[in-house]
Amino acid sequence: MTNGFLMRILPFGRSFGLPILAFASLCFLGVDRLSATSSWDGKSPAEYVVTVETEKPDALYKKGEDVTFKITLEQNKQPVPEGKVYWKISKDNADPVQNGTADIKDGVATVSGKLDEPGFLRCDVNFASPSQGNLTAAAAAGIDVTEIRPTLPVPDDFVAFWEGKKKELAALPMDPKMTEVPAPADRPGTRVFDVQLACTGGAPVSGYYSMPTDAKPKSAPALLIVDGAGVRNSDFLGPIRYAQKGFIAMTINAHGLPNGKPKEFYSALDSGELKDYRVRGRDNRDNFYFVGMYLRVLRALQFLQAQPEWDGHTLMIMGGSQGGGQAIAGAALEPKVTYTFTAIPGLCDFAGVTAGRIGGWPKPIPKGPDGKPDPVVVEATRYADGTNMATMIKSPIHFYIGFVDLITPPTCEYAAYNVIPGPKSVENRPSNGHGHDDPKFWNMVSETLINKAKEQQNGAPATP
Protein backbone atom coordinates (compact mmCIF):
# COMPACT_ATOMS: atom_id res chain seq x y z
CA MET A 1 0.00 0.00 0.00
CA THR A 2 1.53 3.34 -1.03
CA ASN A 3 1.36 6.55 1.03
CA GLY A 4 -0.82 5.04 3.71
CA PHE A 5 -1.02 2.46 6.44
CA LEU A 6 -2.73 -0.77 7.31
CA MET A 7 -3.89 -1.93 10.71
CA ARG A 8 -5.52 -4.79 12.48
CA ILE A 9 -6.42 -5.84 16.02
CA LEU A 10 -4.10 -8.55 17.30
CA PRO A 11 -4.24 -10.79 20.36
CA PHE A 12 -1.84 -10.06 23.17
CA GLY A 13 1.48 -11.75 22.58
CA ARG A 14 3.76 -10.96 25.53
CA SER A 15 4.30 -8.60 28.43
CA PHE A 16 6.90 -5.89 28.04
CA GLY A 17 7.03 -4.88 31.70
CA LEU A 18 7.54 -1.16 31.05
CA PRO A 19 6.77 1.47 33.69
CA ILE A 20 3.75 3.75 33.55
CA LEU A 21 4.27 7.52 33.45
CA ALA A 22 2.08 10.60 33.44
CA PHE A 23 0.54 11.49 30.09
CA ALA A 24 0.01 15.09 31.09
CA SER A 25 3.62 15.69 32.09
CA LEU A 26 5.47 13.41 29.71
CA CYS A 27 8.05 15.61 28.13
CA PHE A 28 11.79 15.82 28.68
CA LEU A 29 11.63 13.14 31.37
CA GLY A 30 14.77 11.13 31.98
CA VAL A 31 13.17 7.80 31.08
CA ASP A 32 14.91 4.97 29.26
CA ARG A 33 13.40 2.19 27.17
CA LEU A 34 9.88 3.57 27.24
CA SER A 35 7.62 4.23 24.27
CA ALA A 36 4.31 4.85 25.96
CA THR A 37 2.21 7.46 27.67
CA SER A 38 -0.52 7.00 30.21
CA SER A 39 -3.26 8.74 32.13
CA TRP A 40 -1.67 8.36 35.56
CA ASP A 41 -0.69 11.67 37.20
CA GLY A 42 2.44 10.19 38.77
CA LYS A 43 1.44 11.36 42.24
CA SER A 44 -1.18 8.92 43.48
CA PRO A 45 -2.56 5.59 42.28
CA ALA A 46 -5.41 6.10 39.83
CA GLU A 47 -8.47 3.91 39.99
CA TYR A 48 -8.11 3.26 36.27
CA VAL A 49 -4.92 3.64 34.26
CA VAL A 50 -4.64 3.19 30.50
CA THR A 51 -1.30 3.04 28.69
CA VAL A 52 -0.10 2.36 25.18
CA GLU A 53 3.41 1.55 24.01
CA THR A 54 5.22 0.24 20.97
CA GLU A 55 6.61 -3.27 20.92
CA LYS A 56 10.14 -2.00 20.26
CA PRO A 57 11.60 0.05 23.12
CA ASP A 58 13.26 2.49 20.71
CA ALA A 59 10.04 2.78 18.66
CA LEU A 60 11.99 2.75 15.38
CA TYR A 61 10.74 0.72 12.42
CA LYS A 62 11.18 0.29 8.68
CA LYS A 63 8.73 1.16 5.93
CA GLY A 64 6.16 -1.61 5.59
CA GLU A 65 7.13 -3.21 8.91
CA ASP A 66 4.31 -4.16 11.28
CA VAL A 67 4.08 -1.85 14.28
CA THR A 68 2.31 -3.36 17.28
CA PHE A 69 0.91 -1.03 19.92
CA LYS A 70 0.21 -2.69 23.25
CA ILE A 71 -2.70 -1.18 25.18
CA THR A 72 -2.89 -1.88 28.91
CA LEU A 73 -5.84 -1.16 31.19
CA GLU A 74 -5.56 -1.49 34.97
CA GLN A 75 -7.84 -0.77 37.88
CA ASN A 76 -6.18 -0.21 41.25
CA LYS A 77 -2.94 -1.56 39.72
CA GLN A 78 -4.62 -4.82 38.68
CA PRO A 79 -5.38 -5.89 35.08
CA VAL A 80 -8.99 -5.26 34.08
CA PRO A 81 -10.47 -8.66 33.07
CA GLU A 82 -12.64 -7.22 30.31
CA GLY A 83 -13.21 -3.80 28.87
CA LYS A 84 -13.30 -1.70 25.75
CA VAL A 85 -10.99 1.05 24.57
CA TYR A 86 -11.21 3.33 21.57
CA TRP A 87 -8.16 3.77 19.37
CA LYS A 88 -7.09 5.99 16.50
CA ILE A 89 -4.06 5.40 14.29
CA SER A 90 -2.79 8.22 12.10
CA LYS A 91 0.20 9.48 10.21
CA ASP A 92 1.50 11.73 13.00
CA ASN A 93 -2.03 13.02 13.64
CA ALA A 94 -2.65 13.73 9.95
CA ASP A 95 -4.95 11.99 7.49
CA PRO A 96 -5.49 9.23 6.72
CA VAL A 97 -6.95 8.28 10.08
CA GLN A 98 -8.30 4.89 11.07
CA ASN A 99 -10.17 4.27 14.30
CA GLY A 100 -12.03 1.56 16.09
CA THR A 101 -12.50 -0.24 19.38
CA ALA A 102 -10.39 -2.93 20.99
CA ASP A 103 -11.59 -5.47 23.51
CA ILE A 104 -9.44 -5.68 26.61
CA LYS A 105 -8.76 -9.21 27.82
CA ASP A 106 -6.87 -9.71 31.06
CA GLY A 107 -5.83 -6.08 30.97
CA VAL A 108 -4.38 -6.06 27.46
CA ALA A 109 -5.24 -5.48 23.81
CA THR A 110 -3.00 -4.78 20.85
CA VAL A 111 -3.44 -2.77 17.67
CA SER A 112 -1.15 -3.21 14.69
CA GLY A 113 -0.47 -0.98 11.71
CA LYS A 114 2.23 -0.09 9.25
CA LEU A 115 3.34 2.89 7.24
CA ASP A 116 4.70 2.58 3.72
CA GLU A 117 6.58 5.88 3.73
CA PRO A 118 9.04 7.61 6.08
CA GLY A 119 7.23 9.31 8.94
CA PHE A 120 5.54 8.57 12.24
CA LEU A 121 2.71 6.16 12.95
CA ARG A 122 0.75 7.41 15.96
CA CYS A 123 -1.74 5.54 18.14
CA ASP A 124 -4.12 7.46 20.41
CA VAL A 125 -6.19 5.53 22.94
CA ASN A 126 -9.25 6.60 24.92
CA PHE A 127 -10.94 4.77 27.78
CA ALA A 128 -14.29 5.94 29.12
CA SER A 129 -13.83 5.38 32.83
CA PRO A 130 -17.02 5.05 34.85
CA SER A 131 -15.58 7.21 37.61
CA GLN A 132 -12.80 9.37 36.13
CA GLY A 133 -14.15 10.45 32.75
CA ASN A 134 -12.17 9.92 29.56
CA LEU A 135 -8.61 8.70 30.08
CA THR A 136 -6.19 9.07 27.20
CA ALA A 137 -2.79 7.76 26.20
CA ALA A 138 -0.63 7.92 23.08
CA ALA A 139 2.41 6.29 21.51
CA ALA A 140 4.17 6.73 18.20
CA ALA A 141 6.58 4.76 16.03
CA GLY A 142 9.22 6.37 13.86
CA ILE A 143 9.32 4.87 10.37
CA ASP A 144 12.68 5.20 8.59
CA VAL A 145 12.98 8.60 10.22
CA THR A 146 16.33 9.43 8.63
CA GLU A 147 14.62 9.36 5.23
CA ILE A 148 12.06 12.06 6.07
CA ARG A 149 12.62 15.09 3.87
CA PRO A 150 11.13 18.60 3.68
CA THR A 151 7.94 18.87 1.69
CA LEU A 152 9.30 21.55 -0.66
CA PRO A 153 12.82 22.30 -1.91
CA VAL A 154 14.77 25.34 -0.78
CA PRO A 155 13.66 28.40 -2.80
CA ASP A 156 16.21 29.35 -5.43
CA ASP A 157 16.59 32.82 -3.94
CA PHE A 158 16.47 31.77 -0.27
CA VAL A 159 20.11 32.57 0.48
CA ALA A 160 19.92 35.83 -1.45
CA PHE A 161 16.78 36.82 0.45
CA TRP A 162 18.51 36.39 3.79
CA GLU A 163 21.75 37.98 2.65
CA GLY A 164 19.65 41.02 1.81
CA LYS A 165 18.07 41.01 5.25
CA LYS A 166 21.49 40.70 6.88
CA LYS A 167 22.80 43.66 4.89
CA GLU A 168 19.86 45.77 6.03
CA LEU A 169 20.60 44.79 9.62
CA ALA A 170 24.30 45.55 9.26
CA ALA A 171 23.45 49.04 8.00
CA LEU A 172 21.57 49.81 11.23
CA PRO A 173 23.82 50.64 14.20
CA MET A 174 23.21 48.34 17.15
CA ASP A 175 22.93 51.29 19.55
CA PRO A 176 23.00 49.14 22.70
CA LYS A 177 21.28 50.48 25.79
CA MET A 178 22.41 48.62 28.91
CA THR A 179 20.90 49.33 32.30
CA GLU A 180 22.47 47.43 35.18
CA VAL A 181 19.94 45.85 37.52
CA PRO A 182 20.65 44.23 40.89
CA ALA A 183 21.63 40.59 40.75
CA PRO A 184 19.71 38.31 43.10
CA ALA A 185 21.30 38.00 46.53
CA ASP A 186 21.54 34.24 46.11
CA ARG A 187 23.43 34.62 42.81
CA PRO A 188 26.75 36.14 43.88
CA GLY A 189 29.54 36.85 41.45
CA THR A 190 27.32 38.06 38.61
CA ARG A 191 26.33 41.31 36.97
CA VAL A 192 23.00 41.70 35.19
CA PHE A 193 21.84 44.20 32.58
CA ASP A 194 18.52 45.04 30.99
CA VAL A 195 19.46 45.40 27.31
CA GLN A 196 17.79 46.91 24.26
CA LEU A 197 19.29 46.82 20.76
CA ALA A 198 18.16 48.52 17.58
CA CYS A 199 17.03 45.98 15.00
CA THR A 200 15.33 45.75 11.66
CA GLY A 201 12.26 43.58 11.25
CA GLY A 202 9.70 45.63 13.13
CA ALA A 203 10.91 45.54 16.74
CA PRO A 204 14.07 46.03 18.80
CA VAL A 205 15.90 43.31 20.69
CA SER A 206 15.02 43.25 24.38
CA GLY A 207 16.52 40.93 26.96
CA TYR A 208 18.72 40.36 29.96
CA TYR A 209 22.49 39.99 29.76
CA SER A 210 24.64 38.57 32.55
CA MET A 211 28.35 38.10 33.05
CA PRO A 212 30.71 36.98 35.82
CA THR A 213 31.90 39.94 37.88
CA ASP A 214 35.48 38.76 37.53
CA ALA A 215 35.36 38.00 33.79
CA LYS A 216 38.54 39.04 32.05
CA PRO A 217 38.76 40.21 28.43
CA LYS A 218 38.52 37.40 25.87
CA SER A 219 37.90 34.79 28.57
CA ALA A 220 34.27 33.69 28.43
CA PRO A 221 32.15 31.52 26.14
CA ALA A 222 28.90 33.16 24.99
CA LEU A 223 25.39 31.72 25.11
CA LEU A 224 22.09 33.02 23.73
CA ILE A 225 18.86 31.53 25.10
CA VAL A 226 15.81 32.11 22.91
CA ASP A 227 12.19 32.06 23.98
CA GLY A 228 9.31 29.69 23.45
CA ALA A 229 5.88 30.70 22.20
CA GLY A 230 3.80 33.29 23.99
CA VAL A 231 4.15 36.86 25.17
CA ARG A 232 6.14 37.41 28.34
CA ASN A 233 9.05 39.11 30.04
CA SER A 234 12.55 37.96 29.16
CA ASP A 235 13.84 35.18 31.39
CA PHE A 236 15.73 36.98 34.17
CA LEU A 237 17.41 34.05 35.90
CA GLY A 238 18.42 32.12 32.77
CA PRO A 239 21.53 34.12 31.86
CA ILE A 240 22.49 34.56 35.52
CA ARG A 241 22.67 30.80 36.03
CA TYR A 242 25.11 30.50 33.14
CA ALA A 243 27.12 33.54 34.25
CA GLN A 244 27.72 31.67 37.49
CA LYS A 245 29.25 28.92 35.34
CA GLY A 246 31.61 31.33 33.57
CA PHE A 247 29.54 32.28 30.51
CA ILE A 248 28.49 35.62 29.21
CA ALA A 249 24.85 34.87 28.52
CA MET A 250 21.73 36.55 27.23
CA THR A 251 18.03 35.80 27.08
CA ILE A 252 15.69 37.71 24.80
CA ASN A 253 11.94 37.79 24.63
CA ALA A 254 10.66 36.94 21.20
CA HIS A 255 8.88 40.22 20.54
CA GLY A 256 11.28 42.98 21.58
CA LEU A 257 9.06 44.00 24.49
CA PRO A 258 10.20 46.06 27.49
CA ASN A 259 11.40 43.95 30.38
CA GLY A 260 10.25 43.98 33.97
CA LYS A 261 6.66 45.07 33.41
CA PRO A 262 3.75 43.73 35.48
CA LYS A 263 2.30 40.42 34.34
CA GLU A 264 -0.85 42.25 33.22
CA PHE A 265 1.18 44.21 30.66
CA TYR A 266 2.21 41.05 28.82
CA SER A 267 -1.18 39.38 29.25
CA ALA A 268 -2.88 42.35 27.60
CA LEU A 269 -0.54 42.14 24.62
CA ASP A 270 -0.99 38.38 24.41
CA SER A 271 -4.77 38.72 24.18
CA GLY A 272 -4.67 41.91 22.16
CA GLU A 273 -2.01 43.39 19.88
CA LEU A 274 0.07 40.20 19.63
CA LYS A 275 -2.77 37.69 19.72
CA ASP A 276 -2.26 36.76 16.07
CA TYR A 277 1.52 37.08 15.89
CA ARG A 278 1.94 33.43 14.88
CA VAL A 279 0.26 34.06 11.52
CA ARG A 280 0.85 37.79 11.10
CA GLY A 281 2.15 38.76 7.66
CA ARG A 282 2.01 35.17 6.42
CA ASP A 283 1.05 36.19 2.88
CA ASN A 284 4.25 38.21 2.33
CA ARG A 285 7.74 36.85 2.87
CA ASP A 286 9.09 40.23 4.02
CA ASN A 287 6.30 40.77 6.52
CA PHE A 288 5.93 37.26 7.97
CA TYR A 289 6.39 37.78 11.70
CA PHE A 290 9.08 35.17 12.17
CA VAL A 291 11.40 36.87 9.70
CA GLY A 292 11.67 39.78 12.12
CA MET A 293 12.01 37.38 15.04
CA TYR A 294 14.97 35.68 13.36
CA LEU A 295 16.64 39.05 12.78
CA ARG A 296 16.34 39.78 16.50
CA VAL A 297 18.09 36.48 17.20
CA LEU A 298 20.90 37.42 14.82
CA ARG A 299 21.31 40.85 16.38
CA ALA A 300 21.49 39.34 19.87
CA LEU A 301 24.25 37.01 18.68
CA GLN A 302 26.08 40.03 17.28
CA PHE A 303 25.76 41.78 20.64
CA LEU A 304 27.37 38.85 22.45
CA GLN A 305 30.26 38.87 19.98
CA ALA A 306 30.80 42.58 20.64
CA GLN A 307 31.41 42.07 24.37
CA PRO A 308 35.07 42.40 25.38
CA GLU A 309 34.75 39.38 27.70
CA TRP A 310 33.81 37.04 24.84
CA ASP A 311 36.59 34.53 24.15
CA GLY A 312 36.34 35.22 20.42
CA HIS A 313 35.41 31.66 19.54
CA THR A 314 32.73 29.87 21.57
CA LEU A 315 29.26 31.10 20.58
CA MET A 316 26.30 28.92 21.52
CA ILE A 317 22.53 29.12 21.16
CA MET A 318 19.76 27.07 22.70
CA GLY A 319 15.97 27.03 22.76
CA GLY A 320 12.90 24.84 22.80
CA SER A 321 9.69 24.81 20.76
CA GLN A 322 9.43 28.26 19.14
CA GLY A 323 12.84 28.86 20.69
CA GLY A 324 14.08 25.68 19.04
CA GLY A 325 13.08 27.10 15.67
CA GLN A 326 14.81 30.36 16.51
CA ALA A 327 17.94 28.44 17.50
CA ILE A 328 17.98 26.74 14.10
CA ALA A 329 17.63 30.13 12.41
CA GLY A 330 20.38 31.66 14.54
CA ALA A 331 22.80 28.87 13.69
CA ALA A 332 21.93 29.29 10.01
CA LEU A 333 22.26 33.07 9.84
CA GLU A 334 25.34 33.48 12.05
CA PRO A 335 28.20 31.29 10.78
CA LYS A 336 30.22 32.04 13.93
CA VAL A 337 27.85 29.97 16.07
CA THR A 338 29.84 26.98 17.32
CA TYR A 339 27.13 24.87 18.98
CA THR A 340 23.32 24.69 18.98
CA PHE A 341 20.93 22.81 21.25
CA THR A 342 17.38 22.70 19.89
CA ALA A 343 14.61 20.91 21.75
CA ILE A 344 11.27 20.00 20.15
CA PRO A 345 11.75 22.77 17.56
CA GLY A 346 8.79 24.46 15.93
CA LEU A 347 8.81 26.50 12.72
CA CYS A 348 9.77 23.53 10.55
CA ASP A 349 8.08 22.22 7.39
CA PHE A 350 5.03 24.45 7.31
CA ALA A 351 4.19 23.04 3.87
CA GLY A 352 3.70 19.49 5.13
CA VAL A 353 -0.03 20.11 4.81
CA THR A 354 0.38 20.38 1.03
CA ALA A 355 1.70 16.81 0.82
CA GLY A 356 -0.85 15.01 2.96
CA ARG A 357 1.17 15.10 6.16
CA ILE A 358 1.29 17.22 9.29
CA GLY A 359 2.46 20.82 8.96
CA GLY A 360 4.90 22.44 11.37
CA TRP A 361 3.95 24.75 14.23
CA PRO A 362 2.29 27.24 14.17
CA LYS A 363 0.56 25.73 11.13
CA PRO A 364 0.30 29.12 9.40
CA ILE A 365 -1.06 27.87 6.07
CA PRO A 366 -4.87 28.22 5.80
CA LYS A 367 -7.14 26.65 3.25
CA GLY A 368 -8.28 28.83 0.38
CA PRO A 369 -11.81 29.07 -1.05
CA ASP A 370 -11.15 25.89 -3.03
CA GLY A 371 -10.39 23.94 0.15
CA LYS A 372 -6.71 23.61 -0.73
CA PRO A 373 -3.74 25.16 1.10
CA ASP A 374 -3.44 28.84 0.21
CA PRO A 375 -0.63 28.94 -2.40
CA VAL A 376 0.32 32.54 -1.57
CA VAL A 377 0.93 31.66 2.07
CA VAL A 378 2.68 28.42 1.13
CA GLU A 379 5.17 30.42 -0.92
CA ALA A 380 5.68 33.29 1.52
CA THR A 381 6.27 31.15 4.60
CA ARG A 382 9.02 29.13 2.91
CA TYR A 383 11.46 31.94 3.69
CA ALA A 384 11.08 31.43 7.45
CA ASP A 385 10.86 27.64 7.35
CA GLY A 386 13.35 25.86 9.57
CA THR A 387 13.85 23.09 7.01
CA ASN A 388 15.35 25.66 4.67
CA MET A 389 17.35 27.34 7.43
CA ALA A 390 18.73 23.93 8.39
CA THR A 391 20.48 23.56 5.04
CA MET A 392 22.79 26.46 5.95
CA ILE A 393 23.97 25.10 9.32
CA LYS A 394 27.62 24.05 9.29
CA SER A 395 28.39 23.99 13.04
CA PRO A 396 27.50 21.17 15.47
CA ILE A 397 23.84 20.95 16.46
CA HIS A 398 21.91 18.62 18.76
CA PHE A 399 18.19 17.88 18.41
CA TYR A 400 15.87 16.61 21.13
CA ILE A 401 12.68 15.08 19.67
CA GLY A 402 9.53 13.76 21.35
CA PHE A 403 7.64 11.17 19.34
CA VAL A 404 4.16 11.97 20.74
CA ASP A 405 4.46 15.73 20.43
CA LEU A 406 1.27 17.20 18.96
CA ILE A 407 2.48 20.82 19.03
CA THR A 408 5.79 20.48 17.17
CA PRO A 409 5.38 17.15 15.37
CA PRO A 410 8.39 14.84 15.08
CA THR A 411 7.82 14.45 11.33
CA CYS A 412 8.54 18.15 10.88
CA GLU A 413 11.54 18.11 13.19
CA TYR A 414 13.17 15.22 11.36
CA ALA A 415 12.51 16.96 8.05
CA ALA A 416 14.79 19.74 9.29
CA TYR A 417 17.33 17.51 11.02
CA ASN A 418 17.93 15.33 7.99
CA VAL A 419 19.00 18.17 5.68
CA ILE A 420 21.59 19.71 8.01
CA PRO A 421 24.96 19.36 6.25
CA GLY A 422 27.12 19.94 9.33
CA PRO A 423 27.85 17.74 12.37
CA LYS A 424 24.62 16.75 14.10
CA SER A 425 23.16 14.40 16.68
CA VAL A 426 19.66 13.59 17.86
CA GLU A 427 18.12 12.28 21.07
CA ASN A 428 14.85 10.44 20.47
CA ARG A 429 12.33 10.37 23.30
CA PRO A 430 9.57 8.00 22.15
CA SER A 431 7.43 8.67 25.23
CA ASN A 432 7.66 12.45 25.25
CA GLY A 433 5.15 15.03 24.18
CA HIS A 434 5.44 18.81 24.37
CA GLY A 435 6.47 20.42 27.62
CA HIS A 436 9.48 21.15 29.78
CA ASP A 437 8.54 20.89 33.43
CA ASP A 438 11.08 18.30 34.49
CA PRO A 439 14.17 19.80 36.18
CA LYS A 440 16.30 16.83 35.17
CA PHE A 441 15.95 17.91 31.56
CA TRP A 442 17.27 21.41 32.21
CA ASN A 443 20.12 20.00 34.29
CA MET A 444 21.03 17.81 31.33
CA VAL A 445 20.92 20.80 28.96
CA SER A 446 23.10 22.84 31.30
CA GLU A 447 25.67 20.07 31.65
CA THR A 448 25.75 19.61 27.87
CA LEU A 449 26.35 23.29 27.17
CA ILE A 450 29.00 23.60 29.89
CA ASN A 451 30.86 20.53 28.66
CA LYS A 452 30.70 21.63 25.02
CA ALA A 453 32.00 25.07 25.95
CA LYS A 454 34.94 23.52 27.80
CA GLU A 455 35.70 21.27 24.84
CA GLN A 456 35.65 24.16 22.40
CA GLN A 457 37.69 26.47 24.61
CA ASN A 458 40.31 23.74 24.96
CA GLY A 459 40.56 23.43 21.20
CA ALA A 460 38.82 20.07 20.84
CA PRO A 461 37.23 19.30 17.45
CA ALA A 462 33.66 20.53 17.21
CA THR A 463 31.16 17.74 17.85
CA PRO A 464 27.35 17.74 18.07
Residues forming the active site: 321, 405, 434
35, burial (CB in 10 Å: exposed 0-12, middle 13-18, buried 19+): buried
Q: Which amino acid is at 344?
A: I
DSSP bridge partners of 392: none
How many other CB atoms are found less than 10 A from the CB of residue 158?
18
Give the count of alpha carbons within 13 A of 418, CB side only: 17
CB of 402 within 8 A of CB of 140? Answer: no
- CA angle, residues 391, 395, 397, in degrees to nearest 5: 80
| Cα 107 from Cα 73, distance rounded (Å) | 5
Integer CA distances (angstroms), 396 to 27, 301, 337, 341, in order: 24, 16, 9, 9
CB of 222 within 8 A of CB of 288? Answer: no
Q: Which amino acid is at 115?
A: L
- The set of residues, in sequence order, having a beta carbon less than 8 Å from that of 321 and lying 6+ positions away, is 228, 229, 343, 344, 345, 346, 361, 407, 408, 434, 436
Nearest Cα to 93, choosing from 381, 418, 412, 415?
Answer: 412
Q: DSSP of 207-218, one letter per residue?
A: EEEEEETTPPTT
Q: Which amino acid is at 53?
A: E
Q: Is 273 helix (H, G, I), strand (E, B) or coil?
A: coil
CB of 258 within 8 A of CB of 272? Answer: no
| Cα 51 from Cα 53, distance rounded (Å) | 7
CB of 282 within 8 A of CB of 190? Answer: no
Q: Are strands 5-10 and 424-429 parallel, antiparallel or unpaired?
A: unpaired
